[in-house]
């Protein structure tokens, strides 16, 4: 298979120095890319800014912003069999980017945020014969919110993990299939979880 994988955070710049982002390390997405390559699959990795070595044998497309990741995914998805969207993208960004570095004013400032494109939802709309696997990082009503995302984004499966996964070497996840059934629970290193996820996809989603 040829698999599109997204990984890492995105950054939305407030000015030329400051940005909105999150603490995602990209380890889960990079582990999935490594596992997929080891299993004999071809990988296109669309990665936000991370401090990780690129897995050998992987085509990597480096991006910063959510719109950049969106464009790269839409461009490359038609040539792939499926997508695993593990990136922690920014849902909102500033309406306008301030040119230069914003200086202190001595008082509060207001920044207007706008909603950014939903990458996995758009790929779900366009997937046709392809498959899509999303990730949901939740803290409250975790299972229900993951199921809602599964259906809203037209995924074939979704991986539910918690906020403790951010920046950690290990993870504990729940895999939910298209029928909203929990089909697996995995705990361990991110590479071990990646191996099991790639094996499940190969068995259940690949033609």
The pLDDT of residue 201 is above 80? yes
**Per-residue model confidence as pLDDT tens digits over 23-33:** 899 999 999 99
Triad 60, 35, 31: Cα angle to 5°: 65
Q: Note the pLDDT of residue 25.
A: 92
Q: Check residue 168 and give its pLDDT.
A: 73
Give dist(CA 151, CA 127) in Å, integer: 14
Question: Which of the residues are catalytic?
Answer: 22
- Angle among Cα 20, 100, 73 to the nearest 5 degrees reads 45
Read off the pLDDT of residues 19-69 as tens digits, 9 standing for 90 and up. 999 989 999 999 999 999 999 999 999 999 999 999 999 999 999 999 999
Question: What confidence score (pLDDT) does residue 97 get?
Answer: 92
* Torsion, Cα of 21, 34, 4, 144 (10° steps): -60
The number of residues making up the chain comes to 207
Domains present along the chain, CATH in parentheses: 2-204 (3.40.50.10300)
Burial of 17 (0-12, 13-18, 19+ CB in 10 A): exposed
pLDDT in tens, 74-126: 999 999 999 999 999 999 999 999 899 988 888 998 999 999 999 999 999 99
Q: For residue 30, what are its two tokens?
A: 């990079």
**For 101-110, b where at least 16 C-beta lie within 10 A, e where not — what string?**
eeeeeeeeee
């Amino acid at each position: 298979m040829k698999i599109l994988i997204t990984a890492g955070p995105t950054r939305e710049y407030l000015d030329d120095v400051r940005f909105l982002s999150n603490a995602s390390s990209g380890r889960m997405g990079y582990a999935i890319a490594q596992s997929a390559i080891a299993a004999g699959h071809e990988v296109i990795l669309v990665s936000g800014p991370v401090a990780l070595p690129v897995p050998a044998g992987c085509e990597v497309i480096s991006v910063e912003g959510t719109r950049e990741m969106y464009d790269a995914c839409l461009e490359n998805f038609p040539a792939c069999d499926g997508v695993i969207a593990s990136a922690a993208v920014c849902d909102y960004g500033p309406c306008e980017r301030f040119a230069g570095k914003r200086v202190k004013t001595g008082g509060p400032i207001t920044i207007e945020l706008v909603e950014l494109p939903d990458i996995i939802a758009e790929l779900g709309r366009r997937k046709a014969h392809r498959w899509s696997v999303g990730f949901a990082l939740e803290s409250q009503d975790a299972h229900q919110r993951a199921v809602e995302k599964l259906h809203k984004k037209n995924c074939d499966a979704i991986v539910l993990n918690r906020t403790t996964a951010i920046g950690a070497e290990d993870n504990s996840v729940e895999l939910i299939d298209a029928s909203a059934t929990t089909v697996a629970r995995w705990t361990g290193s991110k590479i071990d979880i990646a191996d099991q996820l790639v094996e499940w996809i190969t068995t259940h989603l690949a033609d």
